Amino acid sequence: MASTSNTEQEARGRSHEGKEVCPICKGLGYLRADVPVGHSDFGELIPCTCRLAELAELRVSALRTLSDLEILSRMTFETFAPEGHGLPSEKQANLRWAFEESQTFAKKPEGWLVLKGGYGCGKTHLAAAIANGCVERGQPVLFITVPDLLDHLRATFAPSSSVGYDTRFGDVRSASLLILDDLGTESATPWAQEKLFQIFNYRYNARLPTVITTNHELEEIPLRLRSRLVDPDLTRIVSIIAPDYRRAGVAQDQSDLSSLTLHSHQTFESFDLRKGELARGEGENLKRAFDIARSFAKDPRAWLVLTGTYGVGKTHLAAAIANYCVQGGHPALFVVVPDLLDHLRATFNPQSTVTFYQQFEEVRRAPLLILDDLGTESATPWAREKLYQVFDYRYNAQLPTVITTATPIEELDPRLATRMLDVSRCTPFAILAPAYRGGVLRRKKKPARQRKR
């Protein structure tokens, strides 16, 4: 091979602008694949090594464009309150555990981390803190809500899109760290489920670091996705049980759904046992209802159903349970059943500031739910279906629930009645006293000399 003079080599090594050019591709940035004729890659241009760093930076830039991190820059580990606000000790310990697990993952992103819990419990803050911590160290991160991700993928099919679907999908699927926020809030179309599965499956097989947040129980996530989330060799699942931190300093009963503020005076101390008014059996029965309700308030577990005619004290005892728990720092949702259904219907109004899903999930997952006046609602098929969904979820999850009704349990919707009559999970108690009338018609005491006879 003929030698090349120094002058010629120098000329090849510099462009006409005087800048260094790659001696391999001569500044073109691409090379033809060195494969025989007939090979599938014959004639294809491949990036030169001098372009790899530039292409990597372009991919990182594309991920930054997709990410929501700019508006979440305030969400760091330093701004997170790991003890919560006014939480009982067990919820404080749970939230601190979630905080520490997230910190550990952020320091060394490996495997998958699933953060699940109700609205406002801190999942997104912790996920964003992981992302912000990694970005500070120079590690590229894609942080995006699942509905937004799917919208970005759909947008690539538009003729005006500056990036193709394959490129965008590949960038997401192979991101060095992918954080998917709010899994389960996307529209569950077959296309959406297929795209999510492809992303999950690729990252699962490649063992790429991934963080996922969701409001759903794992059993509610489609099986194909769930199968990738529950591998104990890859995934760490953290369930956060803290209530909505955005209600910090405000009693949990201040939910728009709750009417507990109207019953703040109804406590165990203000309950009238109607001594001297009721017959002996009725008085003992009412005292027993009082004791059961107070015991439940001290240790809310399983279900309690209080039945009896109107005015016997069912609502007072149910409100007393809620007030006792709230005063102790434990969240409770007190709602009258007809009002609950009205609230759910109102979410379909275009002006509603809350979605049906958010409202429904607040009820279904409430740490302690008190349903007052069951049986007085309009018994439409829709209403029956919604109540059954609430009952069925809380029954299977064994979430503490108090129900009051003036309707005999056997006359209620059979699907609801079967759960309330299961004595292994529910304590049904019938108050036998007549309606309370303010103590006006108290029994007259016998004169002292008559009592001595």
* pLDDT of 155 over the 70 cut: yes
HEC letters along the chain: CCCCCHHHHHHHHECCCCCECCCCCCCCCEEECCCCCCCCCCCCEEECHHHHHHHHHHHHHHHHHHCCHHHHCCCCCCCCCCCCCCCCHHHHHHHHHHHHHHHHHHHCCCCEEEEEECCCCCHHHHHHHHHHHHHHCCCCCEEEEHHHHHHHHHHCCCCCCCCCHHHHHHHHHCCCCEEEEEECCCCCCHHHHHHHHHHHHHHHHHCCCEEEEECCCHHHCCHHHHHHHCCCCCEEEEEECCCCHHHCCCCHHHCCCCCHHHHCCCCCCCCCCCCCCCCHHHHHHHHHHHHHHHHHHHCCCCEEEEECCCCCCHHHHHHHHHHHHHHCCCCCEEEEHHHHHHHHHHCCCCCCCCCHHHHHHHHHCCCCEEEEEECCCCCCHHHHHHHHHHHHHHHHHCCCEEEEECCCHHHCCHHHHHHHCCCCCEEEEECCCCCCCCCCCCCCCCCHHHHHC
Residues 440-452 have a mean pLDDT of 45
Angle between helices 146-155 and 165-173 (to 10 degrees): 150
Residues 338-348 have a mean pLDDT of 91
Nearest C-alpha neighbor of 24 from the set 49, 6, 59 = 49
Q: Indicate the fold that domain 252-430 takes in CATH.
A: Rossmann fold (3.40.50)
- Cα(424)–Cα(410) distance, integer angstroms: 17
* pLDDT of 63 over the 60 cut: no
Task: Decide if 53-245 and 252-430 have a common fold.
Answer: yes
Neighbours of 289 (CB within 10 A): 25
pLDDT tens-digit readout, 382-399:
999 999 999 998 998 889
Length of the chain: 453
Question: Do residues 58 and 51 make contact, with C-beta atoms less than 8 angstroms apart?
Answer: no
* pLDDT of 2 over the 50 cut: no
Domain extents for the chain?
Answer: 53-245, 252-430
- Amino acid identity of residue 128, one-letter, is A
Residues 13-40 have a mean pLDDT of 64
Which of 69-73, 224-228, 342-346, 373-377 is predicted least confidently?
69-73
Nearest C-alpha neighbor of 237 from the set 111, 60, 374, 141 = 111
- Cα(405)–Cα(337) distance, integer angstroms: 10
Which of 1-10, 237-246, 353-362, 416-425 is predicted least confidently?
1-10
- Which class in CATH covers the domain with range 53-245? alpha beta
- Amino acid identity of residue 353, one-letter, is T
pLDDT at residue 11, rounded to an integer = 41
Task: Please compute Rg for the chain using Cα positions.
Answer: 32
- Cα(209)–Cα(180) distance, integer angstroms: 11
Bridge partners of 402, per DSSP, are 304, 370
The residue behind tokens 């069951």 is 374
| Percent residues over pLDDT 70 in the chain | 81
- Cα(284)–Cα(127) distance, integer angstroms: 54
CA angle 172/116/66 to nearest 5° reads 25
pLDDT at residue 89, rounded to an integer = 75
User: What is the average pLDDT score of the chain?
Assistant: 83
Sheet holding 303-307, edge to edge: 333-336, 369-374, 401-405, 303-307, 426-430
- CA 145 to chain CA centroid, Å, is 13
φ/ψ (deg, to 5) at 67: -70, 155
- Cα(395)–Cα(109) distance, integer angstroms: 37
* pLDDT of 132 over the 50 cut: yes
Which of 131-140, 157-166, 193-202, 443-452 is predicted least confidently?
443-452
Q: 37-46, 165-174, 436-445 — which one is most confidently predicted on average?
A: 165-174
pLDDT tens-digit readout, 168-212:
899 899 999 999 999 988 877 899 999 999 999 999 999 999 999
Confidence of residue 30 (pLDDT cuts 50, 70, 90): low
